[in-house]
Chain A
Amino acid sequence: MFEFLAHSAWLIPCYPLVGMVVSLLWTPSIIRRTGPRPAGYVNLVMTLTAFLHGLGSFPSVWNHPPQYLSIPWLEVAGLDLTIPLEISATTIGVGLVVTGLNFLAQLYAIGYLEMDWGWARFFSLLALFETGMCALALCNSLFFSYIILEILTLATYLIVGTWFNQSLVVTGARDAFLTKRIGDLFLLMGVLAIFPLAGTWDYRELGIWAQTAQVDPTVITLLGLSLIAGPMGKCAQFPLHLWLDEAMEGPMPGTVLRNSVVVSTGAWILIKLAPVLALSPLTLTVMIGIGGVTAIGGTLIAIAQIDVKRALSYSASVYMGLIFIAVGTQQQEAALLLMLTYALAMALLIMSTGSVVLNAITQDLTQLGGLWSRRPITGLSYLVGAAGLIAFPALGGFWALLKLADGLWSTQPALVGVVLLVNTLTGFSVTREFSLIFAGKPQQMTVRSPENLWLVTLPSTILAGATLHLPLLLQRLALLPHWSDLNHTLALLLSGSSLIGCGASAWIYMGDRIPKPVRIPWAPLQNFFALDMYTPTLYRSSVVLGVDWISRLTDWFDRNIVDGLVNLIGQFSILSGESLKYGNVGQTQFYLFTIVSGVFVITAFLVWPLISPLLGSLF
Chain B
Amino acid sequence: MLNVLIWFPCIAAVIVALLPQAIAAHRVRFISLCLSAVTLLWTLWLVSQFDLSNPTFQFRESLPWLPYLGLNYELGVDGLSLPLLGLNSLLTWIAIYSSRVDTERSRLFYSLILLISGGVAGAFLAQNLLLFFLFYEVELIPFYLLISVWGGTQQGSAATKFLLYTATSGGLILAGFLGIIWFSDTTSFTYEALLGQTLPLNIQYVLLILLLLGFGIKTPLVPLHTWLPETYVAASTPVAILLGGVLAKLGTYGIFRFCMVLFPEAWAQVSPGLATWAVVSVLYGALAAIAQKDIKRMVAYSSVGHMGYVLLAAAARTELSFVGAISQMFAHGLILALLFHLVGLIEAKAGTRDLEVLNGLMNPIRGLPLVSALLVLGGMASAGIPGLVGFIAEFLVFQGSYATFPIQTLISVVGTGLTAVYFVILLNRTCFGKLDNDLAYFPKVNWSERIPALILVTLIVVLGLQPAWLVRWSEPTTSALMAAAQELTPMPRLFTAKVLSHQSPPLLSVLEDSPST
Could you tell me the distance between the alpha carbons of A118 and B396 in the complex, rounded to whole angstroms? 37
Contact of A178 among B130, B292, B424 (CB under 8 A): B424
Known contacts: A157-B424, A174-B424, A199-B507. The answer to whether A606 contacts B500 by CB under 8 A is no
CB neighbours of A198 from chain B (8 A):
500, 509
CB neighbours of A169 from chain B (8 A):
432
Which among A31, A79, A208, A587 has the greatest number of chain B C-beta atoms within 10 A?
A79
- Our count of residue pairs bridging A and B at CB distance below 8 angstroms stands at 210
Hey, what's the 0/1 contact readout for B374-392 against A, CB within 8 Å counting as 1? 0010001000011100011
Are B402 and A154 in contact, with the CB atoms below 8 A? no
How many residues on the A side are at the interface (Cβ–Cβ under 8 A)? Answer: 82
Known contacts: A174-B428, A551-B290. The answer to whether A200 contacts B433 by CB under 8 A is no
Contact of A192 among B167, B170, B284, B398 (CB under 8 A): B398
Asked whether any CB of chain A lies closer than 8 Å to the CB of B126, the reply is no
CB neighbours of A161 from chain B (8 A):
432
Asked whether any CB of chain B lies closer than 8 Å to the CB of A165, the reply is yes
Known contacts: A158-B376, A594-B167. The answer to whether A196 contacts B428 by CB under 8 A is no
Are A150 and B370 in contact, with the CB atoms below 8 A? no
Chain A residue, CB-CB nearest to B292: A555
Known contacts: A174-B424, A570-B161. The answer to whether A554 contacts B284 by CB under 8 A is yes
CB neighbours of A79 from chain B (8 A):
320, 396, 399
Are A594 and B414 in contact, with the CB atoms below 8 A? no
Please give the distance in Å from B95's CB to the nearest CB on chain A: 24
Could you tell me the distance between the alpha carbons of A146 and B223 in the complex, rounded to whole angstroms? 34
Asked whether any CB of chain B lies closer than 8 Å to the CB of A550, the reply is yes
Are B506 and A77 in contact, with the CB atoms below 8 A? no
Please give the distance in Å from B74's CB to the nearest CB on chain A: 17
CB neighbours of A167 from chain B (8 A):
433-434
Are A605 and B432 in contact, with the CB atoms below 8 A? no
Hey, what's the 0/1 contact readout for B286-326 against A, CB within 8 Å counting as 1? 01111110000000000000000000000000111011000
Could you tell me the distance between the alpha carbons of A78 and B402 in the complex, rounded to whole angstroms? 15
Are B174 and A199 in contact, with the CB atoms below 8 A? no
Are A547 and B69 in contact, with the CB atoms below 8 A? no
Stretch at the interface among A181-189, A280-288, A337-345, A369-377: A181-189
Asked whether any CB of chain B lies closer than 8 Å to the CB of A485, the reply is no
Q: Is the contact region of chain A dominated by helix, strand, or loop, or is it mixed?
A: helix
Asked whether any CB of chain A lies closer than 8 Å to the CB of B247, the reply is no
Could you tell me the distance between the alpha carbons of A215 and B171 in the complex, rounded to whole angstroms? 51
Please give the distance in Å from A146's CB to the nearest CB on chain B: 8
How many residues on the B side are at the interface (Cβ–Cβ under 8 A)? Answer: 92
B378-419 at interface with A (beta carbon < 8 Å): 380, 385-387, 391-392, 396, 398-400, 402-403, 406, 409-410, 413-414, 416-418
Hey, what's the 0/1 contact readout for A287-324 against B, CB within 8 Å counting as 1? 00000000000000000000000000000000000000
Please give the distance in Å from B228's CB to the nearest CB on chain A: 10
Contact of A147 among B362, B363, B386 (CB under 8 A): B386
Could you tell me the distance between the alpha carbons of A193 and B413 in the complex, rounded to whole angstroms? 12
Are B428 and A170 in contact, with the CB atoms below 8 A? yes
Hey, what's the 0/1 contact readout for B441-474 against A, CB within 8 Å counting as 1? 0000000000000000000000000011001000
Please give the distance in Å from A419's CB to the nearest CB on chain B: 35
Are A192 and B479 in contact, with the CB atoms below 8 A? no
Could you tell me the distance between the alpha carbons of A608 and B181 in the complex, rounded to whole angstroms? 11
Asked whether any CB of chain B lies closer than 8 Å to the CB of A585, the reply is no
Please give the distance in Å from A327's CB to the nearest CB on chain B: 23
Chain B residue, CB-CB nearest to A117: B364
Are A591 and B160 in contact, with the CB atoms below 8 A? yes
Asked whether any CB of chain B lies closer than 8 Å to the CB of A177, the reply is yes
CB neighbours of B421 from chain A (8 A):
178, 547
B484-517 at interface with A (beta carbon < 8 Å): 495-500, 505-509, 511
Asked whether any CB of chain B lies closer than 8 Å to the CB of A618, the reply is no
Are B468 and A73 in contact, with the CB atoms below 8 A? yes
Known contacts: A117-B364, A554-B284. The answer to whether A74 contacts B471 by CB under 8 A is yes
Chain A residue, CB-CB nearest to B284: A554
CB neighbours of A529 from chain B (8 A):
none
Are B500 and A200 in contact, with the CB atoms below 8 A? yes
Contact of B499 among A78, A212, A548, A562 (CB under 8 A): A78
Are A609 and B417 in contact, with the CB atoms below 8 A? no
Are B380 and A76 in contact, with the CB atoms below 8 A? no
Given known contacts A74-B467, A219-B511, what 8 new A-B pairs fall within 8 Å (CB)?
A73-B468, A76-B320, A117-B364, A164-B360, A181-B417, A547-B421, A555-B292, A591-B160
The chain B residues found within 8 Å of chain A, CB to CB, are 68-71, 130, 137, 141, 144, 156, 160-161, 163-164, 167, 170-171, 174-175, 178, 181, 187, 222-223, 225-226, 284, 287-292, 318-320, 322-323, 360, 362-365, 369-370, 376, 380, 385-387, 391-392, 396, 398-400, 402-403, 406, 409-410, 413-414, 416-418, 420-421, 424, 428, 431-435, 467-468, 471, 475, 478-479, 495-500, 505-509, 511
For this complex, 20 residue pairs linking A to B, each with C-beta atoms less than 8 Å apart, are A27-B370, A76-B468, A77-B320, A78-B319, A147-B387, A150-B386, A153-B385, A177-B420, A185-B416, A185-B417, A196-B495, A198-B500, A200-B499, A214-B508, A214-B509, A215-B511, A558-B284, A566-B226, A609-B68, A609-B70
The chain A residues found within 8 Å of chain B, CB to CB, are 27-28, 31, 73-80, 117-118, 146-148, 150-151, 153-154, 157-158, 161, 164-167, 169-170, 173-174, 177-178, 181-182, 185, 188-189, 192-193, 195-200, 205, 208-209, 211-216, 219, 547-548, 550-552, 554-555, 558, 562-563, 566, 570, 573, 587, 591, 594-595, 598, 601-602, 605-610
